[in-house]
């Protein structure tokens, strides 16, 4: 976990660094969550917006028959929890020990600068989500896993060594695969020489260019 904590702050875009000269990390109330602790639940009132300071968060959606879907992962510097309606459509949980800042939605919407920041963040998330759509609808299993790994590497700002704060089940539910297929595809990428597993959560990318070819 520790190397993850120290690596992610570099991923925060410069845009997010300050508002009115204040470090944006200090905007709102600081809160800490333990691994697997719930930040908010599905159907809960969505009157707060969140921003990751350190650690990582996943949003999940549970269907009535038990099928599970992971909507997104959020890392340091990223906003989440904005909803168009009154209630959260997903629940949010901490992947590891995580610090976030929390702000009332009504307060954020009263400040033009903060609102603009939120809008920029929302458009960025929309773009990421569209990429996710493309991945889910038209990629093969091995392409999904390769794309996921390069995306994680990029967002962590360290293309040669990826740390995965989430388990295999989370990856599977994010990519629309089963846990077995994820394992098989990681094994296949390793057998083909694209990646090397240091342990189950640390993956060394050998030839980034070649791995990108497996991304479709």
Partner DNA sequence: CATCTCCTCCGTAGAAACCCTTAGGGGAAA
Partner DNA sequence: TTTCCCCTAAGGGTTTCTACGGAGGAGATG
**Which spans of this chain sit near a copy of itself (rule: CB under 8 A)?**
61, 63-65, 67-69, 71, 82-85, 89-90, 112, 115-116, 118-120, 122-127, 129-134, 136-138, 173-176, 216
**Using CA atoms, how far apart are residues 80 and 59, in angstroms rounded to an integer?**
9
Decide whether 11 or 179 has the Cβ nearer to DNA.
179
Inter-residue contact 59 to 80 (CB < 8 Å): yes
Closest contact distance (angstroms) between CB of 102 and a copy of itself is 18
**Between 178 and 190, whose beta carbon lies closer to a copy of itself?**
178
| Ranges within 132-161 binding DNA (CB under 7 A) | 140-142
Binders of DNA: how many residues, by CB under 7 A? 19
- Nearest Cα neighbor of 81 from 53, 107, 102 is 102
Structure tokens at 190: 């390793």
Q: Which does 149 bind (CB under 5 to 8 A by kind): DNA, a copy of itself, none?
A: none
**Could you say whether residue 22 binds DNA (CB under 7 A)?**
no
Does the protein bind DNA through residue 179 (CB under 7 A)? Answer: yes
200 touches DNA (CB under 7 A):
yes
Q: Does 186 bind DNA (CB under 7 A)?
A: yes
CB-wise, 65 or 199, nearer to a copy of itself?
Answer: 65
* φ, ψ for residue 167, nearest 5 deg: -80, 175
For residue 193, count other CB atoms closer than 10 A to its CB: 11
Q: How far apart are CA 125 and CA 78, in angstroms?
A: 9
Contacting DNA (CB under 7 A), which of 7, 120, 178, 210? 178
Residue 2 CB, shortest distance to DNA, in Å, is 13
d(CA 206, CA 82): 37
DSSP lists the bridge partners of residue 199 as: 202
Assess contact for 16 and 52: CB atoms under 8 A. no
- Give every CB contact of residue 214 below 8 A, 6+ residues apart in sequence: 142, 143, 146, 189, 194
Q: Is 70 in the site for DNA (CB under 7 A)?
A: no
3-class secondary-structure state, position 202: strand
Instruction: Give least dist CB 196 to DNA, A.
Output: 12
Q: What is the contact surface with DNA in residues (CB under 7 A)?
A: 140-142, 167-169, 176-184, 186-187, 197, 200
């Amino acid at each position: 976990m520790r190397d993850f904590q120290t690596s992610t702050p570099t991923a925060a875009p410069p845009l997010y660094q300050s508002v009115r000269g204040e470090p944006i990390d200090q905007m709102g109330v600081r809160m800490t969550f333990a691994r697997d602790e719930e930040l908010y639940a599905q159907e809960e009132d969505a009157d707060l917006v969140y921003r990751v300071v350190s650690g990582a968060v996943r949003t999940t959606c549970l269907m009535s028959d038990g099928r599970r879907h992971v909507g997104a992962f959020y890392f340091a510097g990223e906003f989440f929890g904005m909803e168009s309606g009154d209630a959260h459509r997903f629940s949010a949980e901490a992947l590891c020990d995580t610090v976030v800042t929390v702000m009332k939605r009504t307060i954020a919407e009263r400040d033009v600068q903060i609102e603009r920041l939120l809008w920029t963040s929302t458009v960025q998330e929309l773009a990421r989500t569209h990429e996710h759509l493309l991945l889910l609808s038209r990629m093969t299993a091995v392409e999904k896993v390769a794309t996921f790994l390069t995306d994680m590497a990029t967002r962590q700002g360290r293309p040669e060594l990826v740390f995965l704060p989430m388990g295999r089940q989370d990856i599977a539910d994010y990519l629309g695969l089963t846990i077995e297929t994820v394992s098989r595809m990681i094994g296949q990428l390793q057998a083909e020489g694209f990646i090397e597993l240091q342990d189950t959560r640390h993956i060394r990318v050998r030839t980034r260019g070649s791995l990108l070819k497996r991304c479709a």
